[in-house]
Amino acid sequence: MISEKSFKINPKDKLESKKRLVIISDTHITRSGGAFNLHAFNVGMEKINKIKDASLYLHLGDITQMGTLLEYEYALEQFKKFEPLSKSPKMIFLIGNHDAMNVGYLLFEEMVGTRHYTYEDDDIYIYGIDSTKPDLPGGIIHHSIIDSVRKKLEKPKRENKFKVVCFHHQLIPIPNTGKERSAIDDSGDMLKMLLEAKADLVLNGHRHISNLYTVSSSEKDLFIFNAGTFCCNKTRYRELFTYSIIDIDGNNLNFKVIPVLDSNSQREILRKVNYYIPLQIDKKQKPIARFIQISNSLVSERFESNFNNFDKALEKINKIDEVDLVVHAGNLTKNSFKEEFQIAKDKLNQLKHPYLVVPGYTDSKPLAWEYWKHYFGEFDPLYENDKIYFQGMNSTTLDSKEGFIGRKKLNKFTEKVLSLSHQKIFGVCCFHNLIPTPLSVWRTELIDSGDVLSQFARSQIDLVLNSSPSISFNIKIENTIFSNGGNLEGKYFEEVFIEIEIYKKGLVVLKEHNLRTGLIKVIGNYYISILI
């Protein structure tokens, strides 16, 4: 039976004593050029020196602007101003992409410290990782490091410690940063490992703006905090120079983002680390809504006569009762040929359930728009019934792998969510994925993914469905389930589709149907607050 108490548990508090982490990032120190704001640095240093009871100071990288010898020397000279009142006056530095420029990674090791660091006491374990690629803005962690971090986090002696992992580049897209770029290539593998190894907090810099996400697996919350810049003139939107204080007291976290030049306008966010236990559902209980998620059917006229993965999937889906909506999240055709759209439409029409289709990259070659209009009508299709409001969004741009949603479409949809979310379950679908997927290179092809992800997660949208380039992967961000999956392209990965059930009180169960093995397995189990 489902009882409300079974979803959330708060285990014994982890920390015996309180911890206070002071975070600064992206100082971009240089003697020349306009990046470094010495005034902000001096004011900020004076302020962070006065913070009481700091356990540790962390710098999240981009200490220098160009990673040159003169800059490292000048930066070390500037950091002599760091004279904290607190008893543990340590500042740990992480290497950023700017520090690794011009063979600066060698100078970092010689003059600052190791590129990977550890801080550990009886209560807390902090591990810092070099995520840079020399001379390139983007980042990578590497699978061997991901494996070794997993082992470190999973050590039994650390089970009850508060676990923090730091690296310079962002793990997931964050809002108000313009074009999403220079994330780490293996974000999906890293994110999966951090969730499985039950890390508590991730600290990133690099984007020069602060942000906090609560990301949850089926078992536990993980907080991803992005620090703003301390004193670099390259700021974003209305946030200028900031430092942050994170207070950890048991499972309670208090994040403060404090502007260097105007401490009165600080922002404060309180969070608690929640644990969840797998949900048992009474077999007789029926879901209030059921969705099917598929993508990458890649219908080709050459295989028209063969019974392929798409036919197999449609046949299986037709055997599932009471499906509210089948969502095809893009890459319906292989080449955007007219005949392929015709075949795809004929196949989809065999479904006995309602369906909704959005275009993917392979459906966006020249002339595709004409065919799409002819066979499917809307580029941003809407499906609505008495309990569901589901919006499809075309995120593709003609003949390009890059995608885009745009503020106008996004705002129009979130306004609708605001007005109707107390009456209906809200879902949205677009081809480009907003969260990284394991076993694939995270290319962040949706250029406004930072804003789209934030707006989806921070409004009352229950379900976001995207295509997957590899395996199925789902997480909860804030109160929204993000599911990448349903990949029917049986090339490198097994062909699967996803069934999503939403039960009363907001229980969401995601199941993967494997077409190759015939097996069905639960791949996600969450609790979201729904208003209906």
Residues that bind Fe ion (CB under 5 A): 26, 62, 96-97, 206
Minimum distance, C-beta of residue 27 to Fe ion, in the bound complex (Å): 9
Minimum distance, C-beta of residue 181 to Fe ion, in the bound complex (Å): 11
Q: How many CB atoms lie within 10 A of CB 161?
A: 19
Which lies closer to Fe ion via its Cβ, residue 26 or residue 71?
A: 26
Q: How many CB atoms lie within 10 A of CB 27?
A: 32
* Residue 430: strand, helix, or coil: strand
Of the candidates 155, 150, 246, 227, the one whose C-alpha atom is nearest the C-alpha of residue 195 is 150
322-352 burial, b at 16+ Cβ within 10 Å, e below that, comes to ebbbbbbbbbbbbebbeebbbbbbebbeeee
Minimum distance, C-beta of residue 371 to Fe ion, in the bound complex (Å): 43
Which lies closer to Fe ion via its Cβ, residue 14 or residue 168?
A: 168
Q: Provide the CB-side half-sphere exposure for 28 (13 A, CA).
A: 21
Which lies closer to Fe ion via its Cβ, residue 97 or residue 487?
A: 97
Per-position DSSP letters for 344-371, written without gaps between them: HHHHHTT-SS-EEE---GGG-STTHHHH
Name every residue whose Cβ is closer than 8 Å to that of residue 408 and which is 6 or more positions away in sequence: none
259-269 burial, b at 16+ Cβ within 10 Å, e below that, comes to bbeeeeeeeee
Minimum distance, C-beta of residue 232 to Fe ion, in the bound complex (Å): 6
Per-position DSSP letters for 74-89, written without gaps between them: HHHHHGGG---SSS--
Minimum distance, C-beta of residue 96 to Fe ion, in the bound complex (Å): 4
Which lies closer to Fe ion via its Cβ, residue 30 or residue 480?
A: 30
Which lies closer to Fe ion via its Cβ, residue 236 or residue 409?
A: 236
Minimum distance, C-beta of residue 26 to Fe ion, in the bound complex (Å): 4
Minimum distance, C-beta of residue 168 to Fe ion, in the bound complex (Å): 6
Minimum distance, C-beta of residue 179 to Fe ion, in the bound complex (Å): 15
CB 251 within 8 A of CB 10: yes
CA distances from 49 to 41, 88, 224, 426 (A): 12, 11, 25, 47
Minimum distance, C-beta of residue 95 to Fe ion, in the bound complex (Å): 10
Which lies closer to Fe ion via its Cβ, residue 116 or residue 133?
A: 133
Which lies closer to Fe ion via its Cβ, residue 231 or residue 294?
A: 231
Q: What is the torsional sign of CA 458, 460, 462, 468?
A: negative
Minimum distance, C-beta of residue 61 to Fe ion, in the bound complex (Å): 6
Q: What angle do CA 101, 102, 106 make, to 5 degrees?
A: 85
Which lies closer to Fe ion via its Cβ, residue 67 or residue 96?
A: 96
Backbone angles phi, psi at 410, to 5 degrees: -65, -45
Minimum distance, C-beta of residue 230 to Fe ion, in the bound complex (Å): 10
Which lies closer to Fe ion via its Cβ, residue 62 or residue 448?
A: 62
Residue 123, token pair as written in the block? 């209560």
Per-position DSSP letters for 241-295, written without gaps between them: SEEEEEEEETTEEEEEEEESS-GGG-EEEEEE--EE-PPP--TTPPPSEEEEEEB
Minimum distance, C-beta of residue 202 to Fe ion, in the bound complex (Å): 16
Q: What is the torsional sign of CA 126, 132, 138, 139?
A: negative
Per-position DSSP letters for 24-55, written without gaps between them: E----B-SSSSSB-HHHHHHHHHHHHT-TT--
Residue 242, token pair as written in the block? 């900031």
Which lies closer to Fe ion via its Cβ, residue 44 or residue 403?
A: 44
Which lies closer to Fe ion via its Cβ, residue 62 or residue 221?
A: 62
User: Rounded distance, CA 23 to CA 473, Å?
Assistant: 31
Cα torsion for 193, 401, 461, 236, to the nearest 10°?
Answer: 80
390-423 burial, b at 16+ Cβ within 10 Å, e below that, comes to bbbbbbbeeeeeebbbeeebbeebbebbeeebee
Which lies closer to Fe ion via its Cβ, residue 61 or residue 359?
A: 61
Minimum distance, C-beta of residue 211 to Fe ion, in the bound complex (Å): 15
Which lies closer to Fe ion via its Cβ, residue 206 or residue 443?
A: 206
